[in-house]
Amino acid sequence: MNNLFNSYFVKTHKLEISITIIAVVLFLIYFLGAPHVFTRFPIYRAFMQSMPFFGIIAISATFVVTLGEIDLSFPSIVGITSLTFGMVLTSTDGNFYLAFILATSLGMFAGLINGLLVTKIGIPSIVATIGTLFFWRGLVNVISQGSGIAIVDVADGTWQHAMFVQKLFGKIPAQFIWFIALTALMQWIYRYHKFGNHIHFVGDNKASAQMMGINVDRVKIIAFVQLGFFSALAGIFTMYEMLYFWPTQGAGLMLTTLAAVFVGGTSVFGGKGTIFGTFIGVLIIGSLESGIVALGLSGFYVQFINGLMITAAVTIYALIQRKKT
Amino acid sequence: MAEELLRLENIYKNFGNVKVLKDVNLNIKKGEVVALIGDNGAGKSTLIKVITGVHRPNSGKVFFKKEEVNIKSVSQSRKMGIEAVYQERALCDQQELYRNIFAGREITNSLGFLKIKQQRKEAEKILRDYIGFTSKAITVDSTVMGLSGGEKQGVAFGRSLYFNSDLIVLDEPTMGLSIQETEKVLNFVRGLKNENKSAIFIDHNIIHVYGAADRFVILDRGEVVGEFMKDEITREELVNKMIELHESGKIEVEA
């Protein structure tokens, strides 16, 4: 037993292990507190249906946070790219490829702007992305004039609809499978690709990374661009689920998404993080609302307990980190 | 007469309105250790960063192995065979040693994924053969955070040897080190000569510099104000020159 606790795996995966324990305890509480809900399948189907929409962005945002940067503009990037997707899809009578390419390109362009503001102009990312947060949402409002777009006629029953959100075997939402596959791919890139490696070095110490021959600006820009892409992708998933675009689309994503990254154990200071942790963070943050209501507490507790979870988690991580140094 | 390795001609470098380097000329032969000395702000660090591609000069020419080169980046200077061991210790604290050693020139497959096994194996070799780490507490999976200053410097040296460079640039290699660790570092610098490698070396401590270098180049406010071969000057004379420079702002060159 003692061996187990001192093993190399445990030492190097403290964060992942802590977050998994927190998640297991949380689901045990749900399970014991509301067995009539949590012993049946529908609640899990609902989780699998809703979590990927912000989960995809959280996985992608983990790269930006590991850089020691932050992106607050992704909710509005979801908005503007979803609007683009809806407009192109309806005006071309369902040309998916064009709509997909334009929406994701716009997402990457928005990410590029964030990246350039941060690296070439030198604006701290928290400030730069507050600017673009308002900018893109404002543009959504100006273009949409506050009205939504129904894509039912051009999206429902298409193969893209099936591919993105159909239930496999009538039970498992396709978006959840995508989410898992994406998590695995991003974890691989994060730990074992040159790009992921450079993300860690730049986040750890920008000056050292530069001296080791890493192109710091390029790494940062690519990180923002991929977040723009995945914001667009998450928006498209949501559109196929809802078959509707509404002008506030994405606006509610900010806190849940970033909370999932931080609860997952990725350091705000940069240089250290975990994609697996973010995945578990998504399971925690994405289950809180339903879980709390199922336990019989009123909805008013949701934010309170959410806040408690985040604060407790980041405190634990800070303590783990401090012991190391 | 040994062959020329690096030559700088009329190098100027400004940061905004501040002229950090003014008409600097410098050359280094194969197998030669050159010490750059001068006060804080003399431009020593800037000069070596021009050589390693961190900064680009505003004007002037750089020749490496007798060919004119335009060093645009750190990775380019490394490819040419210039390797730096920096004052700021270019290592990232929270990352593992095997990742640090290969940062910026990872061993990857064609898709850019790291060959972790190979990196760890090579890193192991560097720790054992080049640096001579024997402590079991330090492995290729250790993070830099737990290492002492000398150990960090050792990793940086090991890295530069492994990549088989012709010119090693050392920025304050003994800063913050214990006496024993300093001695190891100076031995390392002396050992470079046996392998016919050259080095440029910055250190505040003239005693260290004197013991390890063949030639001394004195910088003051961005200009080269004096240059001495080791056999032309004793340690005391060198110290006196520096004091003289410090007090009067200029230096008498008799030779």
Q: How far, in Å, CA of A129 to CA of A135, rounded?
A: 9
Set of chain A residues whose Cβ sits within 8 Å of the Cβ of B108:
193-194
In sequence order, what DSSP letters do the residues of A183-204 get, joined into one string?
A: HHHHHHHHHHBHHHHHHHHHHH
Distance of CA A286 to the CA centre of its chain: 11
- The DSSP bridge partners found for residue B35 are B201, B216
Interface of A with B in 257-276 (CB under 8 A): 271-272
- Residue B243 burial by CB count (10 A; 0-12/13-18/19+): exposed, middle or buried? exposed
**E strand segments, chain B:** 4-15, 18-29, 33-37, 59-64, 67-69, 82-85, 167-171, 198-202, 215-220, 223-229
Set of chain B residues whose Cβ sits within 8 Å of the Cβ of A193:
108, 111-114
- Average pLDDT estimate for B212-235: 86
Whether the per-residue pLDDT at A1 is higher than 50: the answer is: no
Find the CB nearest B104 among A188, A200, A212. A212
- The DSSP bridge partners found for residue B143 are B96
- Average pLDDT estimate for A239-248: 93
Nearest CA in chain A to B116: A192
- Verify whether the Cβ–Cβ distance A211 to B105 is below 8 Å: no
Q: How far, in Å, CA of B69 to CA of B33, rounded?
A: 22
Q: How far, in Å, CA of B28 to CA of B5, rounded?
A: 6
Find the CB nearest B106 among A197, A324, A325. A197
In this structure, which amino acid lies at residue B158? Answer: G
Domain ranges within chain B, ordered by starting residue: 4-90+165-248
Q: Which residues of B touch A (CB under 8 A)?
A: 52, 54, 73-75, 78, 84, 86, 88-95, 99-100, 103-106, 108, 111-114, 116, 141, 145
B66 — alpha (psi -120 to 50), left (phi > 0) or beta?
left
The predicted-structure confidence for B73-129, as pLDDT tens digits, reads as follows 888 888 888 988 875 567 888 899 899 888 888 888 989 899 989 999 988 888 887
* pLDDT grade for B253, boundaries at 50, 70 and 90: low
Nearest CA in chain A to B142: A12
User: Ranked by mean pLDDT, which of A259-273, B157-171, B186-200 comes out on top?
Assistant: A259-273
Write out the H or E segment, with its range, that includes residue B29: strand B18-29
Nearest chain B CA: its distance from A195 CA (Å): 8
Task: Tell me the whole-structure pTM to 2 decimals.
Answer: 0.85
Nearest chain B CA: its distance from A5 CA (Å): 18
CA atoms within 13 A of residue B76's CA, in its CB half-sphere: 14
CB B20 within 8 A of CB B13: yes
The predicted-structure confidence for A191-229, as pLDDT tens digits, reads as follows 999 999 999 999 999 988 988 889 999 999 999 999 999
Write out the H or E segment, with its range, that includes residue B229: strand B223-229
Find the CB nearest B88 among A201, A208, A272. A208
Q: Which CATH number fits domain B4-90+165-248: 3.30.300.180, 2.60.40.10, 3.40.50.300, 3.30.70.1520?
A: 3.40.50.300
- Residue A141 burial by CB count (10 A; 0-12/13-18/19+): exposed, middle or buried? middle
Domain ranges within chain A, ordered by starting residue: 14-324
Instruction: Give pLDDT, residue B154.
Output: 79
In this structure, which amino acid lies at residue B101? Answer: I
Instruction: Give pLDDT, residue B238.
Output: 82
Q: How far, in Å, CA of B141 to CA of B138, rounded?
A: 8
In this structure, which amino acid lies at residue A102? Answer: L
Q: How many residues does chain A have?
A: 325
Architecture of the structural domain at A14-324: Orthogonal Bundle (1.10)
Whether the per-residue pLDDT at A3 is higher than 50: the answer is: yes
- What does each C-alpha distance from A153 to A88, A89, A175, A207 come to in angstroms? 13, 10, 21, 53
